[in-house]
């Protein structure tokens, strides 16, 4: 038991050291190198990480059947891995820039819908996906001056998790850690009640306690947090999605308000509303499959 604990501690330290080293290397590079560096790292990861490559390919096969042949699945996998590295580079870049520079990297479509929803004072539940540069999406909304918060799952490596938390705090980007679920729910309730701002939820990954909904024609379990908060606090539900434009900027799409089922059966309402949210996630994943990070997870179980 003691040996296992020591191995875990060593692994945590190694992950932290490698991550921080890469962080400062990227920080020292000029922004124009990010794309070629990301492409190189993505291709390297494709050839070295067989388990991730197989996981992505398997998920694509389940979702699309024979729509994509093996070469197309390889291309999407390489593009996805490259986009993950590029997103990290962009977040590192944003950590050293002022609000005006960060906001200039985004094109927000449907912003008037967000302003109208906030003006009601009801609060906004953001339905989001792990697509495009989703961490930067949150940073951009905050730097634009919107009262925005997000519930995030911390990295499992303890030291890396602390580093990411310090980085977010240093750059005045609020977040609610999902490390302790009860504490996260309490913090989210208090924040939403006091600000009536935008509370974003990512609901495209597996949740063992979630609602059974259809995604790509397959039954999956999806988290119901967005639906439950929208009902409990009478919030307006908006879709907030992002993808990368060819010129390097980010297009943030705000859509809605989404129709919400409100009956005497809260459990069924949560299932129906979550099902609708997941249909919107699916819509954008189909448009930009190479930008959806959740292909790396066991989405179909």
pLDDT, tens digit, 9 for 90 and up, residues 55-95: 999 999 999 999 999 999 999 999 999 999 999 999 989 98
Compute how many other C-beta atoms are within 10 angstroms of the C-beta atom of residue 15.
16
Are the beta carbons of 289 and 282 closer than 8 angstroms? no
Q: How confident is the model at residue 157 (pLDDT cuts 50, 70, 90)?
A: low
pTM assigned to the model: 0.92
- Classify residue 301: in a domain, yes or no: no
- Total domains present in the chain: 1
Other Cβ atoms within 10 Å of 136 Cβ, number: 22
- Whether 7 maps to a domain, the answer reads yes
**pLDDT score for 159:** 67
Residue with the larger pLDDT of the pair 50 and 237: 237
Mean pLDDT of the chain: 92
Q: Which domain holds residue 134?
A: 2-296
Q: For 212-243, give the DSSP string.
A: EEEETTEEEEE--HHHHHHHHTTPEEEEEEEE
Domain membership flag for residue 11: yes
Q: Is the predicted pLDDT of residue 51 greater than 80, yes or no?
A: yes
Q: Is residue 275 part of a domain?
A: yes
User: By CB neighbour count within 10 A (0-12 exposed, 13-18 middle, 19+ buried), where does 106 fall?
Assistant: buried
Residues forming a β-bridge with 202: 128
Q: Do the domain assignments include residue 167? A: yes
| 119 inside domain | yes
């Amino acid at each position: 038991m003691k040996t296992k604990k020591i191995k875990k501690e060593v692994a945590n330290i190694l992950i932290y050291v490698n991550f921080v080293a890469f962080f400062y290397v990227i920080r020292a590079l000029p922004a124009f190198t990010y794309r070629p560096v990301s492409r190189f790292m993505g291709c390297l990861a494709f050839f070295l990480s067989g388990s991730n490559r197989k996981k992505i390919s398997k998920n694509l096969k389940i979702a699309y059947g024979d729509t994509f042949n093996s070469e197309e699945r390889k291309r999407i996998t390489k593009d996805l891995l490259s986009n993950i590295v590029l997103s990290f580079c962009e977040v590192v870049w944003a950590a050293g820039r002022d609000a005006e520079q960060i906001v200039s990297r985004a094109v927000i479509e449907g912003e008037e819908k967000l302003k109208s929803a906030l003006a009601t004072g009801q609060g906004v539940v953001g339905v989001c996906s792990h697509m495009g540069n989703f961490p930067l999406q949150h940073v951009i909304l905050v730097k634009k001056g919107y009262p925005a918060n997000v519930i995030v799952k911390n990295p499992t490596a303890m030291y890396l998790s602390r580093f990411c938390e310090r980085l977010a705090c240093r750059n005045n980007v609020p977040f609610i850690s999902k490390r302790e679920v009860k504490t996260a729910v309490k913090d989210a309730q208090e924040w939403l009640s006091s600000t009536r701002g935008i509370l974003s939820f990512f609901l495209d990954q597996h949740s063992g306690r979630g609602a059974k909904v259809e995604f790509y024609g397959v039954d999956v379990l999806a988290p119901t947090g967005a639906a439950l908060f929208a009902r409990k606090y009478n919030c307006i539900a908006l879709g907030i999605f992002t993808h990368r434009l060819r010129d390097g900027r980010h297009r943030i799409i705000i859509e809605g308000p989404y129709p919400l089922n409100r009956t005497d059966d809260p459990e069924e309402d949560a299932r129906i509303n979550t099902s609708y949210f997941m249909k919107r996630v699916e819509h954008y994943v189909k448009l930009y499959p190479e930008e959806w990070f959740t292909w790396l997870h066991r989405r179909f179980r």
